[in-house]
Structure 1
Amino acid sequence: MIPAKRIHTVEEYYFSKKLREVRGLIAAGKPIINLGIGSPDLQPPTVVVDALEASLHDETAHKYQSYQGIPELRNAIADFYQKNYNVSLNANDEILPLMGSKEGIMHISMAYLDEGDAVLIANPSYPTYTSVTKLLGAIPIYYDLDANNNWLPNLEQLEKQNLSNVKLMWVNYPHMPTGAKATKSFFEKLIVFAKKHQILLINDNPYSFILNDEPLSILAIEGAKEVALELNSLSKSFNMAGWRTGMVMGRAKHIQHVLKVKSNMDSGMFYGIQKGAIQALASSTEWFAQLNTIYEKRRKLIWELATNLHCTFDTETAGMFVWAKLPESNTLTSEAFIDKLLYEKDVFITPGSIFGTQGEGYIRFSLCVSEEKIKEVIKRIEAS
C-alpha cells in the first residue's frame, strides 16, 4: 500500500525520534537526566483533580460531549480572559475549547488553507506550524527572527515581499524557544500589518504566565478580532499537559470556520477534564506566584549550568525554557553539541536547530526538572 504524497513532505517529529533513543539509553542503564522537554513535572491544583474525580458520577459524565464544550467551560475561559488579559469574549461564539492547542494548529490551517496558499512562519519557531502547513499542501514562507531585534519580526522587511498569496501568519509570544516577549506597541503594528495585507494572524500563547509579570493577549489590541485568533492552553500554566486542554478565541465567524473542521475530527472533550479545567481557570494569582517561585529557583540553576558550558543567554525572558547561545569557540553544530553531552555526560538538552536555521548555534534548556537533578547536571559538567 502506497502512502499519500503528503507524508513525504514531513519527517517524524524530532522529539518522537530522539526520546526513543533516550529511553533506549535509560533501559541500558544510563542515568540520563532530561533537560530537553517542556512537560511540567509539577502537579496541577488540587481542586482540579478533585473536580475531575467528583464529576465521574455525574449523569452525563460518560456520554458524548458538545463539540463546543460545556457552557460552564466557555464561561470560565471568558472570565479568565477578562480577569487576566482584560479581553472581553462572548462565551457563546468567540471561544472554542480544544483537546490541546496543538490540534488547533491543524484545525485552523484546515479551515483556511487551500493547496498552494502561503503561510508566514517564524524562524525559529515551533516545528508543528511548518509540518501542518506542508501536510495541507500549502507553502511555508519563513521570516527570520534574531536576537538583535529581540526575536520579533521585522515588519518593514516583510513589507518588501510579495504577500499576495499569504493567508495565515503564525506568531508565538512569549516566544518558544527563545522566551522573548512581545509588547503592546508591537502587537498594534502587527494588527495594522495584517489588516493591510488581509492576513489571518494566530498568536499561540501558552507561556504568558510562566516567569512573566505582564501577561498579554493579542486580542487586547483594538481591532484585533477582525484579523486575529489566539490559541491558549492549560498545559504549561496549570501543569496539565497530559490533560490535553486548550482553546482558540476570536471573532465569531472565524471560530465558526474552525468548528466546521473540529466537529468532523472528534466527538467532544471528556466531561471530567472540562470540569477540572473550569477549576483551574478559576485559580487566583497566588497559584502563578507559587509556580513561578519554583521556576525562578530552577532558572537560576540553569543559568549557572549554561555559564559552566560557556554559553550566553538573556535574563529578561519568559516561559519555561532558557535559550542559550553556544560559545564562539564551539565548532560543533547544536545537534552534535547536545549529542556529545548526551553520550559523555548522560544529559539531554534540545538543539536549537530543530526550531529552524536561525536556531543553529543555540541550545534550549527546560525548567521542568527538579533542582536536585539540575544540581546533579552541574556536578557532571564541572567534573569534566
Structure 2
Amino acid sequence: MITTAKRLEQVQEYYFSQKLREVGQLISKGKPIINMGIGSPDLKPDHKVIAAIQNAMNDPKAHQYQSYQGLPELRKGFAHFYKNNFQVGVNPDTEVLPLMGSKEGIMHISLAFLNEGDEVLIPNPGYPTYVSVTNLVGAQPVLYDLKAENNWEPDLDALEKQDLSKVKIMWTNYPNMPTGAAGSLALFEKLVAFVKKHQILLINDNPYSFVLNNNPISILQVDEAKDIALELNSLSKTFNMSGWRVGMVIGNAKYIDAVLKVKSNMDSGMFYGIQKGAIEALQLEADWFEQQNAIYSRRRNLVFQLADNLGCTYDKNSVGMFVWAKLPEGVASSEEYVDKLLYENDLFIAPGTIFGDKGEGYVRFSLCIEEEKIKEVLGRISVEEEIHL
C-alpha cells in the first residue's frame, strides 16, 4: 500500500465537503433539507456577462492556451475597477494578476513566500483555507483571536507581546467572513504600521466589499501599503460568478512577479470565454450592486427573524452575505446544535467551530437562498419551537 505524504496528516477534508455528502444522503432519502450553510450565490450573473462568454465561443482564440497573466483587457478591467471603486491606482501590466478564483491565490502566495518552519498569523475565527494551506506548505499557523467585544478586529497590542521573529505572512479578511465585521481604514492603517514594523507580508482577502456594504474599502488605500501588502479579490460574490472561478491579486510588482512564478507552473491560463465575461462584469454600473443588495437585504431581514425565533443574537450592522449569530445561553456545542436542526427541522446551517475554536457558540446563516425557502424555514421554526432546540 502506497502511503500518502506526511503533509496530509496536517489537514482534514474540508468540512463542507464531508457535510454536504451527509446532507445529500438525507435528501436522497426524501428529507426536505433546506441548505443555508453555503455561501454560493444562487443569483445569475448579469445578462451582458453571459452574452459575453457566449459570443466568445466563436472567436478563434477562445480554444487556445491563454496567457498566464490573463488578457491585457482583463488586467485593465481590474485596474479600472480598483480606481473607480477604491480610488487605488495600479499598473495593469505589473501590479495585477488574474487568478482562477482567489482561493488558488492563497496557495500561490503561500508557495511563493513561505519556507518550512515560517510562521503565519491567521485570524480565529477565520476562513479555514488559511490554516490548511499553511500546513500543506510546511509552515506553522499562529492563530490570533478575533472577539466580539473588539468588533472582531485583531488585538495588535497583544500581538506585539508575542515573538514575531519567525512570522512571514499575516492574513486578514475585511469585510470579515464569517463575522460580518466591516473593518475600516483606521484598522487598515494600524495593520500596515504593524506589519511594516515587523517586516511581515500582509494579505487582505477582500471578496465581500460590495455585498450589503455601503463603504467598500481596500487595504491598498492606505499610504505605502503597496510596499508591504497584497490584496486578493474575487468576482464570485460581487457578480454571482462563483462557479466561473475568477479572482485576482493586486499589489507591488515584485510580489506579483513572485506569485506569477508559482502560478505559471500550476496552470495554462484562464479560459478565454470566462475572461471575456469577467471583463464585461467589471464594467457594470452601480445599479448592479443596488439591485443585488436589495435582494440580499430582504433575505437578511427574514434570516434575522429566523435567528430571533431560535433565540440567537446578532449584529444588525454586519455586512456581507452571511448572518453570524450567537447561540442562546446554555447551548454548549455549535456542531450539536447544527446537527439537531438538520435532523429535527431539515435545516442545514454552518457551525461556528469550522472557522476556529473561537467560533464556538456561534452559527452562520447564508443569504444565498431564495426568500420563499427562508419563509418555509420560518414556517418550520416558530418562536414556540425554540425551546425544543
| Normalised-by-shorter TM-score class | over 0.9
| Equivalent position of 2:110 in the other structure | 109
| Equivalent position of 2:360 in the other structure | 360
| Equivalent position of 1:161 in the other structure | 162
Q: TM-score, normalised by structure 1?
A: 0.99
Q: What whole-Å deviation, never above 9, does each CA across 1:143-202 have from its counterpart, x for those lacking one?
A: 000000000001111001010100000000000000001111110111000100000000
Matching of residue 373 in structure 1 with residue 373 in structure 2? yes
1:365 partner SS: strand
1:267 partner SS: coil
Matching of residue 312 in structure 1 with residue 313 in structure 2? yes
| Equivalent position of 1:179 in the other structure | 180
1:317 partner SS: coil
| Equivalent position of 2:349 in the other structure | 349
- Write out aligned runs for 1:1-384 (5 A): 1-330=2-331, 332-382=332-382, 384=385
Distance in 2 (CA, whole Å) between partners of 1:339 and 1:2 is 33
Q: What whole-Å deviation, never above 9, does each CA across 1:223-259 have from its counterpart, x for those lacking one?
A: 0000000000000000000000000000000000000
Distance in 2 (CA, whole Å) between partners of 1:84 and 1:306 is 33
CA shift, 1:83, in A, is 0.3
1:60 partner SS: helix
For structure 2, which runs of at least 5 residues remain unmatched after alignment?
Answer: none
2:281 partner SS: helix
Distance in 2 (CA, whole Å) between partners of 1:87 and 1:317 is 25
Runs of 4+ in 1 over 3 A off after TM superposition: none
2:369 partner SS: coil
* Code of the aligned partner of 2:171: W
Distance in 2 (CA, whole Å) between partners of 1:55 and 1:304 is 44
Distance in 1 (CA, whole Å) between partners of 2:145 and 2:186 is 20
CA shift, 1:59, in A, is 1.5
Distance in 1 (CA, whole Å) between partners of 2:356 and 2:290 is 33
CA shift, 1:279, in A, is 0.3
Q: What whole-Å deviation, never above 9, does each CA across 1:106-125 have from its counterpart, x for those lacking one?
A: 00000000000000000000
CA shift, 1:329, in A, is 2.7
* Code of the aligned partner of 1:206: P
Distance in 2 (CA, whole Å) between partners of 1:335 and 1:154 is 27
Q: What whole-Å deviation, never above 9, does each CA across 1:91-135 have from its counterpart, x for those lacking one?
A: 000000000000000000000000000000000000000000001
* Code of the aligned partner of 2:367: L
* Code of the aligned partner of 1:343: Y
Distance in 2 (CA, whole Å) between partners of 1:303 and 1:262 is 41
Distance in 2 (CA, whole Å) between partners of 1:186 and 1:173 is 10
Distance in 1 (CA, whole Å) between partners of 2:228 and 2:199 is 7
* Code of the aligned partner of 2:99: L
* Code of the aligned partner of 2:345: K
1:23 partner SS: helix
2:381 partner SS: helix
Q: TM-score, normalised by structure 2?
A: 0.98
Q: What whole-Å deviation, never above 9, does each CA across 1:331-376 have from its counterpart, x for those lacking one?
A: x300000000000000000000000011000000000001100011
* Code of the aligned partner of 2:114: L
Distance in 2 (CA, whole Å) between partners of 1:105 and 1:16 is 19
* Code of the aligned partner of 1:191: V
CA shift, 1:13, in A, is 0.2
For structure 1, which runs of at least 5 residues remain unmatched after alignment?
Answer: none
1:122 partner SS: strand
Distance in 2 (CA, whole Å) between partners of 1:45 and 1:150 is 34
Aligned residues: 383
2:63 partner SS: coil
Equivalent pairs: percent with the same residue? Answer: 64
1:61 partner SS: helix
* Code of the aligned partner of 1:372: E
User: What is the CA RMSD across the aligned residues, in angstroms?
Assistant: 0.6
1:153 partner SS: coil
Distance in 2 (CA, whole Å) between partners of 1:25 and 1:316 is 35
Distance in 2 (CA, whole Å) between partners of 1:66 and 1:358 is 42
